[in-house]
Amino acid sequence: MNIEDLKAAFRNLYGCEVEHAYFAPGRVNLIGEHTDYNGGLVFPCALSFGTWLLISRRGDSQNSLHSLNMDFAATIDNSIFAASPKEWIKYPAGVMKEFADRGHHVFGYNMLFAGNVPLGSSLSSSASIEVATALMLNDVCHTQLNMTDLVKLSQHAECDFVGVKCGIMDQFASGFGKKNHAIALNCATLDYEHVPFCIDGYKLLITNTNKPHSLVASKYNDRRRECEDAARTLAEKYPIKFLCELTEEQFETSKHLIKNQIVRNRAEHAVYENARVHKAIDALKAGNLAFFGQLMNASHRSLKDLYEVSCFELDTLAENAQQYDGVLGSRMTGGGFGGCTVTLIQADKVDAFMAHIAPLYKEQTGLEASFYIADIGDGAQKLF
Ligand code: GLA
């Protein structure tokens, strides 16, 4: 995305110059899926894909919003907060509401959004819109919130206004990304560490199923509820608030307390996935990419069999990749039910791999896969 082209597009649309521009990235999660709202560890990276937001002042009490990549435009005022909008506009509107609820005046701007995160692909296009909007409002409202506050407020907008009871991983990765580093984040405390993502001779390849999502919010919210039920049950034995406070051993000695097999499976995933993230961070630091890859494969299996958030398309991509010579590991990334896989693969095998997987995937699912080499970028920032 070229900023001069975006400025020209802004000028064409609004007939005036851009005053400020902001950027917030999407993310890919390496491992630690559905652990964030269970008080566990996650290990995402920010991408160089993201959302650019360009603005100017208008002199009235409305916001005009255009999106270049979503082909949608609207002029809104504060009646939007009672309207539960359906389009992508709910993401910036949810963040505007967060600031309005804190007593700030959030209207009076021309806004142009331009994104290159593939939509609905589990690479956090929505978090990147939210965090870009939060960064912009923090600037123009002179709120002086720090990045942690902006991340939390963006997550709250998604839970409250959008209606997905998400954890904090996506917004945090967008806010705190660092070029060529992964973020080891403890979601219970928000302590984090930037871990150099050194994979010499290997690439991180993202493959998009291009499967349209359906009912994702309700299934996601169901998983969260099941985990909360499990945590309440196990709290009878251990003084825990979140499932990921348990070790694997503690889970094994108490899992019989969870009578419902489905709920027990969900809890087993959360506890073991959290343990895998610890091991994966250590493996990366020790340069043991082969073990890192095995943990990715185990994560996928657990998400498929225990957490049941995978789907035929994701399994087709991940399982075919896992068989391929030169692939160390492959798994679904993000919330699931569609979206992308992430694969750790020998750099000189990438072209042959894509040539092998694309027709196989098409034959097995009828869909075209898309591929992106992950370029790990910095977190959200004001550009000017
Ligand atoms: C979505 C949510 C995140 C996280 C992942 C699964 O991306 O927004 O908070 O729960 O799913 O790991």
Characterise 101 by phi-psi region: left (phi > 0), alpha (psi -120 to 50), beta (else). alpha
Q: Are residues 222 and 367 in the same domain?
A: yes
Q: Which of 139, 162, 196 is the last residue of a domain?
A: 196
169 in contact with ligand 1, CB cutoff 6 A: yes
Q: Are residues 51 and 173 in the same domain?
A: yes
Cα of 220 from ligand 1 centre, angstroms: 9
Instruction: Say yes or no: CB of residue 336 within 6 Å of ligand 1.
Output: no
140 CA to centre of ligand 1 in angstroms: 29
Last residue of a domain, one of 196, 222, 246: 196
Closest CA to 24 of 207, 184, 173: 173
Same structural domain, 136 and 206: no
382 occurs within a structural domain: no
CATH code, domain carrying 70: 3.30.230.10
Based on the fold, state whether residues 142 and 32 are members of the same structural domain: yes
Task: Confirm or reject: Cβ of 34 under 6 Å from ligand 1.
Answer: yes
If you ran DSSP here, which 8-state letter would residue 375 be given?
-
Which residue in the block uniquely carries the two structure tokens 């580093």?
181
Three-class SS state of 381: strand
Output the six-digit token pair for 15: 């007939």
Q: In angstroms, rounded to a whole number, what is the distance separating the alpha carbons of residues 374 and 340?
A: 12
Strand partners, 311: none
Tell the residue nearest (CA) to atom 9 of ligand 1: 167
In a domain, 379, yes or no: no
Decide if 279 is inside a domain.
yes
CB-ligand 1 contact for 170 (6 Å cutoff): yes
Q: End of a domain among 196, 227, 250?
A: 196
Q: Are residues 126 and 228 in the same domain?
A: no
Pocket test for ligand 1, best of 36, 243, 302 (most atoms within 8 A of CB): 36
Same structural domain for residues 128 and 230? no
Q: How far apart are CA 100 and CA 141, in angstroms?
A: 10
User: Under 8 Å CB-to-CB from 337, ≥6 apart: which residues?
Assistant: 213, 214, 215, 216, 219, 309, 310, 311
253 and 332 assigned to the same domain? yes
What spacing in Å lies between the alpha carbon of 164 and ligand 1's midpoint?
A: 10
Provide the 3-class DSSP secondary structure of residue 217.
helix
- 0.95 exceeded by pTM: yes
Rounded Cα distance between 169 and 365, Å, is 30
H or E element at residue 127: helix 125-140
* Residue numbers annotated as active site: 170
In a domain, residue 383? The reply is no
Host domain of residue 338: 202-373
Inside any domain, residue 163: yes
Domain total of the chain: 2
Judge if 115 and 240 occupy the same domain: no
Same domain? For 74 and 206 the reply is no
185 φ/ψ angles, rounded to the nearest 5 degrees: -115, 125
- pLDDT given at position 220: 95
Per-residue burial over 102-112, b if 16 or more Cβ lie within 10 Å, else e, is eeeebbebbbb
**Across the chain, which distance is largest between two alpha carbons, in Å?**
67
pLDDT in tens, the chain (384 residues): 899 999 999 999 999 999 999 999 999 999 999 999 999 999 999 999 999 999 999 989 999 999 998 878 899 999 999 988 878 899 999 999 999 999 999 999 999 999 999 988 999 999 999 999 999 999 999 999 999 999 999 999 999 999 999 999 999 999 999 999 999 999 999 999 999 999 999 999 999 999 977 668 889 999 999 999 999 999 999 999 999 999 999 999 999 999 999 999 999 999 999 999 999 999 999 999 999 999 999 999 999 999 999 999 999 999 999 999 999 999 999 999 999 999 999 999 999 999 999 999 999 999 999 999 999 999 999 999
Query: 183 and 68 share a domain?
Result: yes
Check whether residue 213 and residue 174 sit in a common domain: no
CATH number of the domain where residue 239 is located: 3.30.70.890
Considering the domain architecture, whether residues 150 and 230 belong to the same structural domain is answered as: no
Within-domain flag for 209? yes
Q: Which pLDDT does position 212 carry in this prediction? A: 75
Cα–Cα dist 347/365, whole Å: 26
- State both tokens at 128: 């990147």
